Structure 1
Amino acid sequence: MARKGMQKVRTGCHTCKVRKVKCDEAKPHCTRCSSTGRKCDGYPRLPHGVYSWDELLSIRPIIPAVTSRHSSQESRALDFFRHAVAPAFSGYQDDDYFWLTLVTQASYHEPAVRHAVVAISAIYEQAVAAETEQCTPPQQQQDHHQAFIDSPAGRFALGHYSQALKQLAHTRDESVVLFVCILFVCIEILQGNQQTAIAHCRHGVVIFNNAKAKNLGWARDYLLPKFVAMSIVPYFFGNTPQNFPGLVNSDTDDSKPLTSLDACRSSLNLLVARAIRFIRTSDTCRYATVPAAMHSEQRDLLASLARWLQNFTAFQEISPPSHDAVNTHLMLHIKCLVSTIWTSTCLDPSSETACDQHLASFREIVRLARQVTAWEARKPGFARPKFVFEMGFSPLLYFVVIKCRDLDTRLAALACMADLSAHRENLWDLVHMFSIGWRLIELEHGVNLERAAQGSGGGGFFEYTDVAVPVPPDEMRVRDTWNSGGNEMRPGRDGRKVLHRKVCFIVLGEDARLVGSKQWVQLRLPGSGEHLLKW
């Protein structure tokens, strides 16, 4: 017999369906249930394509159970991402929402996202396993990566990466492209493909710059902060404002008070992105006549950074950091201090000695970093993540190691870098930075850190508090470094063969011109007293 009245609705909540009453379908809980004190058991899971991106962001997090439409291997990868990868990626940025909620939720509703997430999960699991595995004899990074690519797990991961690329080729939604672009950057970083990761980042920045604001919608609120943070990284790896675009129309009004931790982080990242572009621009004119506009931009940047720190201090007084956010607050303060020192000295042709005027700020950075170390020590069972997606502590503390010439302060920064940094922070590799910093200190101060560390009981770090070690003269200071070759097994100081990397140290020559001095630098595993054998 035909039903009378309205057509049957199949999208109501489970509770109203059982009660056989009309559901008003309010989200996240229907009003009909909540207004009568009943528990709303939620809504049936809808097929792919039902939710728009705006709906995905407005409803409560959806973490569906594994369904038969995913293979067991794919389902395991999605589950591993949610429980192991996403929490690690958040790092010290207090960024759980993007990785734990938004990415996880989108992976169940957007095929390109799902395939990218599966690839990330599989590659991350392999990278962590490779790092913790003991290998004798040691293998090179490329050997491990190639072995993974040739393995069933590698073919599985790269197959899903390929599927994500194919899915993305058919979408016209720029917001989806930008979302998946972030995941592609992550995939390439995990594989050690620096230039490809930067190329994906450049592509996303260009899309943002060319898109009309009305077409981006939610992406501007949720994804733009990610691209601002990502756009900082390429300038540390050989890119310049001439070959890497900046994000346009992303300025912030630093005269307004800061009202949330997200606002503090976003506004500072915008300033840091602006500062690093300015610093890289200054590289070309430091030893020539500096245009007046550059000095004006420098003053404006320093004033903006000072206002940010003032507003941040006021925000902390009104809203003291929660237990989980203490380290994020400390990191933001450190990032502001590093940006201020670097911006202040970048136009000075004697910038190496100019840094000596900022010893108080360098010491403050170390003091804040030690607070993080002490705070982490209170957490039972705390383990640093192997990889974080955004800038962590390593590049910030490395700046102190290479630019502060007070031996005690830079040694303390080196120790904090070993204690706090993830093994990989975006494109930064802790072992390479730690090892280069170690050798640079030896060169500038004429000391043997390995011998001194052994004399202090083998702890690996020490202080010269009882020995007068002068600040190195300008002619002994290293101006810059870069990797000039691959890794090679060579005899260490104790005669054993250990892994080395060829590094070029830029110093002043006899005629006051910059010259390169190439050396094999022994790679060390920070904090363990052992030499690094492999990633």
Structure 2
Amino acid sequence: MAPGTSKTKVKTGCRTCKIRKVKCDESFPSCKRCLSTGRICEGYGIWGGGTRSNPTSSISPHTKSLEKVIFAPTPIKTATKEESRYLEWFTHRSAFKLPGIFRLELWDKLVFQAASTEPAVRHAILALGSAHKREGRANISAPGSALDKEEHFTLQHYSKAITHLQPHFSARDNSSIRVGLLTCLIFVIMELIRGHWKTAIAHLQSGLKLLDEFQARSSEVDGYSLFLEPCHASVDSWIIQAFIRLDVQTKLMGQNSHSLNMIHEDCNSEIPIHNLTFQSVHEARQHLDRLLGQILYLSHEYRSQVGYQVKINLQRFLIRQRRIEAKLGSWYQAYKNLKAVLAAEKISTTTIAFTILYLYYLMAGIMVDTCLRPADQLRYDIHTTSFLLMMEQLKLLRYLTSSAPLDKELHLPNMTNTISDLGAFPALFCVAIKCRVSWIRHDAVGFLKNLAHNEGIWNGPLIASIADEVVRIEEGSFYEGSSAVEQASFYGASNKLDVLQPTLPESHRMHDVKIELPEDYAGTVTLKCTRVLEDHSQEVITREFVYNESARRWVVKDGDT
């Protein structure tokens, strides 16, 4: 190799230098290397840098820190006092509460910098702030009823944000695509808060499709995949991480969403299995998201081929399954090493993060083991210990989030506990519908019934009602006369695995549980369950749920039994 040359992949610097794969001097607002050669400097992120600024302007000593330069606090101009109030709510409530424990710099920095220069983003966060403020007091609106003040404000700025997006849709350059992705992400979360599930999923699918196009372009131009580099600190990776989280969260509920090509790329790439290390809980979370995405993709692909009666190369699927299991084992070792370094004696948000990570690691282990056995529900019985460990983590999570050190930090006054990220619901739902040890699953259902908040697409009261109904359908009268459910309690349950209880037969168990969400609370939720009976015929059971506003819960429609 000649002196002064390097094969190191260019990951920092302005967009132009990265495309050219040359060393950038990272001057701000415009790279001197680009200016000296007459090139256009595309800047350092979505809105950072560019050749319109004076290249001879003085540069602060602090500009070597890219994040400080790009995301320096910039006042966000508002037109009215009303806008200022909702902006304040978003800044001090929504942006703090909605991301949950695993905060992305997208929430702390990017949205504010974007809102200061891009009207589409500014109006989107105003709409989100007003929807979030209204959430705890929202009721089902009767057809033709007048909109309240906050809902009117939400719709007004929602419309303005869409209007300001039109030029970006026409431009289709990288900067415009980033504006579109960030605004789309805000729209998804806003619609989930409003309880408009179908619209939220439609926005998510649009964003994922656009992200796929953007990813394909980045891979072609830059020669690398942002998604495959979890440590890459760029606005692109922040946006990608946010979309991946929403995509995984939606797929865990079984909702159809666009299959990311980058997930397919990840499944077929050689990711190191051994000597994996994490520098932070965020990096551990991103790796786990990737593994969950791979498991969901493998399950989807296998089920699709079975459904279309395609001749299946089972060995190919088994090899992929074993690779994911090996990567999951490597993840857990790296997780334990990180926890040994970062775990503190005092309770903190990091304690909660480690608890959530371990909870979803346990769930991922069950998912990968059973993903190629959709009709074999007896397979779940070998995972009873994992289900118990999941319940232990869930109980610990409840204790931690309500503990004195974190109560004021996590639970702001005058607002709900809604977050946009994963929390307890997917894991609780998994235990309730897949663990057939009756006293464990009933404990999970009871836990669900005491949670009234939302986690993205996961609505607490709805999931509790669905889980309760699935358990009721599966068990029926099978345990009548058995005292196991009453005698066994979760507390000290590790000593009660030997409680004598009949095993629920395969013919009682659902191998497919599908939830069809409505547009909003005024609609009907449809639950479809499928099981194979003793004569090998399939039984499809359907239930419909409607929202009872006075009771604030979802109930089975009259006539369904």
Q: Which of these residues, 348, 363, 367, is aligned with residue 338 of structure 1? A: 363
Tell me if the contact between 1:179 and 1:223 (Cα under 8 Å) persists in the aligned partners. Answer: yes
Tell me if the contact between 1:120 and 1:187 (Cα under 8 Å) persists in the aligned partners. Answer: yes
Provide Cα deviations, 1:88-128, integer angstroms capped at 9, x if missing partner.
Answer: 212232x0643243323432232221111011111222222
Which stretch has the larger CA shift, 365-374 or 163-172? 163-172
2:122 is the counterpart of 1:122: no
Helix, strand or coil at the partner of 1:247: helix
- Specify the alignment match of 1:155 in structure 2: 152
Tell me if the contact between 1:477 and 1:507 (Cα under 8 Å) persists in the aligned partners. Answer: yes
2:254 is the counterpart of 1:244: no
- Deviation of 1:263 (Å): 1.0
Provide Cα deviations, 1:372-399, integer angstroms capped at 9, x if missing partner.
Answer: 1222232345649442212221012201
Q: Report the residue type matching 2:202 in the other structure.
A: T
| Structure 1 pair 146–237 and aligned structure 2 pair: CA distance change class (3 A) | farther
- Deviation of 1:435 (Å): 0.8
- Specify the alignment match of 2:179 in structure 1: 176
- Deviation of 1:200 (Å): 2.7
Tell me if the contact between 1:478 and 1:505 (Cα under 8 Å) persists in the aligned partners. Answer: yes
- Specify the alignment match of 1:212 in structure 2: 218
How far apart are the structure 1 equivalents of 2:210 and 2:90?
23
Q: TM-score, normalised by structure 1?
A: 0.73
Q: How does 1:163-312 map to 2 (within 5 A)?
A: 163-171=160-168, 172=173, 173=175, 174-191=177-194, 192-194=196-198, 195-212=201-218, 218-236=234-252, 244-247=259-262, 253-255=272-274, 256-285=276-305, 289=312, 291-312=314-335
- Deviation of 1:221 (Å): 3.0
Give identity over the alignment, percent.
19
- Specify the alignment match of 2:32 in structure 1: none
| Structure 1 pair 78–147 and aligned structure 2 pair: CA distance change class (3 A) | farther
Provide Cα deviations, 1:307-331, integer angstroms capped at 9, x if missing partner.
Answer: 1011101111122156121111111
How far apart are the structure 2 equivalents of 1:160 and 1:301?
44
Tell me if the contact between 1:118 and 1:157 (Cα under 8 Å) persists in the aligned partners. Answer: yes
- Specify the alignment match of 1:42 in structure 2: none
2:117 is the counterpart of 1:109: yes
Q: Report the residue type matching 2:68 in the other structure.
A: S
Tell me if the contact between 2:376 and 2:511 (Cα under 8 Å) persists in the aligned partners. Answer: no
- List runs of 5+ in structure 2 lacking aligned partners: 1-26, 29-45, 51-62, 227-232, 556-561
How far apart are the structure 2 equivalents of 1:144 and 1:207?
40
- Specify the alignment match of 2:81 in structure 1: 72
Which stretch has the larger CA shift, 52-61 or 199-208? 52-61
Helix, strand or coil at the partner of 2:531: strand
How far apart are the structure 1 equivalents of 2:373 and 2:421?
30
Tell me if the contact between 1:434 and 1:524 (Cα under 8 Å) persists in the aligned partners. Answer: no
Q: Report the residue type matching 1:261 in the other structure.
A: V
Q: Report the residue type matching 1:318 in the other structure.
A: V
- Specify the alignment match of 2:58 in structure 1: none
Tell me if the contact between 1:127 and 1:190 (Cα under 8 Å) persists in the aligned partners. Answer: yes
Q: TM-score, normalised by structure 2?
A: 0.70
Which stretch has the larger CA shift, 351-360 or 189-198? 189-198
How far apart are the structure 2 equivalents of 1:189 and 1:305?
31
Cα RMSD of the aligned pairs, angstroms, is 4.1
Q: How does 1:52-63 map to 2 (within 5 A)?
A: 52=49, 57-59=67-69
Tell me if the contact between 1:500 and 1:520 (Cα under 8 Å) persists in the aligned partners. Answer: yes
- Deviation of 1:478 (Å): 2.0
Which stretch has the larger CA shift, 108-117 or 505-514? 505-514
- Specify the alignment match of 1:532 in structure 2: 553
Helix, strand or coil at the partner of 1:348: coil
- Specify the alignment match of 2:532 in structure 1: 508
Tell me if the contact between 2:529 and 2:542 (Cα under 8 Å) persists in the aligned partners. Answer: yes
- Deviation of 1:83 (Å): 1.6
| Structure 1 pair 124–70 and aligned structure 2 pair: CA distance change class (3 A) | same
Tell me if the contact between 1:431 and 1:524 (Cα under 8 Å) persists in the aligned partners. Answer: no
How far apart are the structure 1 equivalents of 2:121 and 2:395?
39
Tell me if the contact between 1:356 and 1:405 (Cα under 8 Å) persists in the aligned partners. Answer: yes
- Specify the alignment match of 1:396 in structure 2: 427
Helix, strand or coil at the partner of 1:258: coil
2:455 is the counterpart of 1:425: yes
Tell me if the contact between 1:369 and 1:416 (Cα under 8 Å) persists in the aligned partners. Answer: no
Helix, strand or coil at the partner of 2:535: coil
- Deviation of 1:295 (Å): 0.7
Q: Report the residue type matching 2:512 in the other structure.
A: D
Helix, strand or coil at the partner of 1:392: coil
- Deviation of 1:469 (Å): 4.1
Aligned residues: 454
Tell me if the contact between 2:181 and 2:210 (Cα under 8 Å) persists in the aligned partners. Answer: yes
How far apart are the structure 2 equivalents of 1:117 and 1:100?
13
- Deviation of 1:151 (Å): 4.0
Tell me if the contact between 2:273 and 2:326 (Cα under 8 Å) persists in the aligned partners. Answer: no
How far apart are the structure 2 equivalents of 1:301 and 1:75?
49
Tell me if the contact between 2:532 and 2:539 (Cα under 8 Å) persists in the aligned partners. Answer: yes
Provide Cα deviations, 1:193-237, integer angstroms capped at 9, x if missing partner.
Answer: 424233233233323323225678933332221122223244346
| Structure 1 pair 515–165 and aligned structure 2 pair: CA distance change class (3 A) | same
| Structure 1 pair 533–394 and aligned structure 2 pair: CA distance change class (3 A) | closer
